[in-house]
C-alpha cells in the first residue's frame, strides 16, 4: 500500500494548530537572507517531491506547497515540525538532525521562510478548541467519501496517512475540519462544506482524531559504516537487466538475494528512516552522503539504491554513482514500501542483518 505524506484527495495537505512548544527562534532575523538560504535548501531537500516551485506531485502525491489554501491555513509551527520530524512510515523523511536527518534548526526555519514567501493571502486564525463529534457515526461516511484515497483505516493509499501519529500530534481538530470543508482548489481534493452537514463534518473530524497514538521516540544518533556493504559476499555476482536504463524490479532483487548472489543495496533515505525500517542487508547511505559511499564501493558488483519516493531520492544517488563511473548501478523500481508490502525481509534498528 503506497504511503505518502500529503494528499490529493480528502483532507489533502492538512494543517495544524500551534504545538505545545514553539519551535526554537530563528538565529538570523534578516528575512531576505533567510529566504535566500531557504530556497537553496528547499531545492536540495524538498524539490524532488514537492516541485522546484512548490507545485507539488513531482513524486508520490507530495502536495502543492504553493497552494493558496494550504499556505493561509498552515502555521509556521506546522511547517517546521513537519520538516523536522517528517511522517514516519511514509516517504516524508524527518529532516531534522536530531531526528536522524541532516538539517539544523536554523536551516529548517529558513526553509519555512522560503515556503512562506509564496503566500499571497492573509493567514487564517482558526479556533483550536477540540471539536465534539461521533467517530462511530462517521464510519459509513468516511468509507464512502474518504477511504478510496486515505485507506479504510486512514493508512493512506494515494493520499495522506490520516492515522500517522506525527500528523495527528500536530493537526488540531479545527484545522482538520477546515480542510475537509474547504478542500484544496486546483487539486483533486474537493470541498465538502456544501455536501455534508456541520454535524457530519464534526463526526468525520472525531473519527480521524480517534486514530491518534503516541508519536515515535527520537532516534539515537547513527552513522553507518559504509565499508560494510556487501550482501552474500561469498556468492557469485548478481546480474540484472535494467528497465529504461535505471530500474530493477523488487522481485528480481529479492530473488537474487535469496539465491545467494552478491550485490549491494544502498538505502538513500535519511539515517532516521533507516532506523525505523530498512531492507535486510542494506547499508544506510543517505543521498547527501553518497560521495562518501562512492569512495568504498566495488565497481564489479551491482549497486542498487532505494528510497520510498520511490525514485526521487534514490535517483539522485544513482546519478552520483553513474557520474563516478559505476556502470553496474540501478534503482529498486517500486521503492521500499512496495518491498515491505510484499513481505520481503526488513529490519528495524541499526543492524544490517538479524
The CATH number assigned to the domain holding 60 equals 1.10.760.10
**Is residue 181 included in any domain, yes or no?**
yes
131 and 7, same structural domain? yes
Question: Given CA atoms 30, 31, 34, 39 in this order, what sign does their dihedral have?
Answer: negative
- Residue 26 in this model has a pLDDT that exceeds 80: no
For the segment 300-309, the average pLDDT, to the nearest whole number, is: 96
pLDDT value for 98? 95
**Is residue 13 included in any domain, yes or no?**
yes
180 and 63, same structural domain? yes
For the segment 281-287, the average pLDDT, to the nearest whole number, is: 97
200 and 61, same structural domain? yes
**Is residue 103 included in any domain, yes or no?**
yes
**Is residue 224 included in any domain, yes or no?**
no
Contact 49, 58 (CB under 8 A): yes
- Residue 19 in this model has a pLDDT that exceeds 50: no
Give the structural domain span for 119: 1-217
| DSSP letter, residue 89 | T
Cα dihedral angle (146, 152, 156, 161), rounded to 10 degrees?
90
Assign residue 239 the CATH number of its domain.
Answer: 3.40.250.10
**Is residue 62 included in any domain, yes or no?**
yes
For the segment 144-173, the average pLDDT, to the nearest whole number, is: 91
196 and 283, same structural domain? no
253 and 114, same structural domain? no
- pTM for this model (two decimals): 0.87
- Quickly state the pLDDT bin for 58 (edges 50, 70, 90): confident
- Quickly state the pLDDT bin for 27 (edges 50, 70, 90): low
Strand ranges (E), the chain: 230-231, 247-248, 263-267, 278-279, 283-284, 303-306, 329-332, 346-347
297 and 241, same structural domain? yes
Per-residue cell: 59? 513524486
For the segment 136-146, the average pLDDT, to the nearest whole number, is: 96
In the predicted model, what is the mean pLDDT of the chain? 90
- Residue 33 in this model has a pLDDT that exceeds 60: yes
Q: What angle do CA 335, 8, 23 make, to 5 degrees?
A: 85
184 and 293, same structural domain? no
Q: Count structural domains, the chain.
A: 2
Report CA-CA distances (Å) from 296 to 108, 291, 327, 331: 31, 9, 15, 19
**Is residue 223 included in any domain, yes or no?**
no
Tens digit of each residue's pLDDT (9 = 90 or more) over 179-194: 999 988 988 889 999 9
**Is residue 303 included in any domain, yes or no?**
yes
pLDDT value for 29? 74
Tens digit of each residue's pLDDT (9 = 90 or more) over 249-260: 999 999 999 999
- Quickly state the pLDDT bin for 171 (edges 50, 70, 90): confident
Of 161, 189, 217, the residue that ends a domain is 217
For the segment 290-298, the average pLDDT, to the nearest whole number, is: 95
263 and 211, same structural domain? no
Amino acid at each position: 500500500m503506497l504511503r505518502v505524506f500529503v494528499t490529493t484527495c480528502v483532507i489533502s495537505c492538512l494543517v495544524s494548530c500551534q504545538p505545545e512548544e514553539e519551535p526554537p527562534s530563528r538565529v538570523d532575523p534578516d528575512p531576505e537572507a533567510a529566504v535566500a538560504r531557504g530556497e537553496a535548501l528547499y531545492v536540495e531537500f524538498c524539490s524532488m517531491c514537492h516541485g522546484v516551485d512548490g507545485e507539488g506531485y513531482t513524486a508520490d502525491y507530495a502536495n502543492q506547497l504553493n497552494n493558496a489554501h494550504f499556505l493561509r491555513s498552515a502555521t509556521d509551527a506546522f511547517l517546521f515540525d513537519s520538516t523536522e520530524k517528517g511522517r514516519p512510515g511514509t516517504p516524508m523523511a524527518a529532516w531534522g538532525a536530531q531526528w536522524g536527518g541532516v538539517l539544523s534548526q536554523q536551516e529548517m526555519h529558513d526553509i519555512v521562510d522560503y515556503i512562506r514567501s509564496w503566500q499571497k493571502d492573509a493567514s487564517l486564525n482558526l479556533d483550536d478548541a477540540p471539536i465534539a463529534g461521533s467517530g462511530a457515526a462517521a464510519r459509513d461516511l468516511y468509507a464512502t467519501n474518504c477511504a478510496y484515497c486515505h485507506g479504510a483505516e486512514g493508512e493512506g493509499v494515494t493520499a495522506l496517512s490520516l492515522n500517522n501519529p506525527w500528523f495527528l500530534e500536530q493537526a488540531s481538530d479545527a484545522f482538520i475540519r477546515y480542510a475537509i470543508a474547504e478542500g484544496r482548489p486546483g487539486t483533486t481534493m474537493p470541498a465538502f462544506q456544501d455536501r455534508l452537514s456541520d454535524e457530519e463534518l464534526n463526526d468525520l473530524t472525531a473519527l480521524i482524531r480517534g486514530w491518534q497514538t503516541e508519536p515515535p521516540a527520537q532516534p539515537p544518533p547513527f552513522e553507518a559504516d559504509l565499508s560494510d556493504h556487501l550482501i552474500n559476499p561469498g556468492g557469485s555476482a548478481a546480474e540484472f537487466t535494467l528497465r529504461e536504463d535505471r530500474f530493477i524490479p523488487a522481485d528480481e532483487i529479492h530473488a537474487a538475494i535469496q539465491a545467494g548472489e552478491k550485490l549491494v543495496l544502498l538505502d538513500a533515505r535519511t539515517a532516521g528512516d533507516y532506523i525505523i525500517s530498512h531492507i535486510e542487508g542494506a547499508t544506510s547511505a543517505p543521498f547527501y552522503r553518497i560521495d562518501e559511499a562512492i569512495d568504498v564501493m566495488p565497481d564489479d558488483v551491482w549497486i542498487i539504491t532505494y528510497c520510498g519516493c520511490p525514485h526521487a531520492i534514490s535517483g539522485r544517488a544513482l546519478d552520483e554513482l553513474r557520474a563516478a563511473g559505476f556502470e553496474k548501478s540501478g534503482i529498486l523500481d517500486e521503492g521500499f514500501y512496495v518491498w515491505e508490502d510484499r513481505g520481503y525481509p526488513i529490519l528495524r534498528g541499526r543492524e544490517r542483518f538479524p
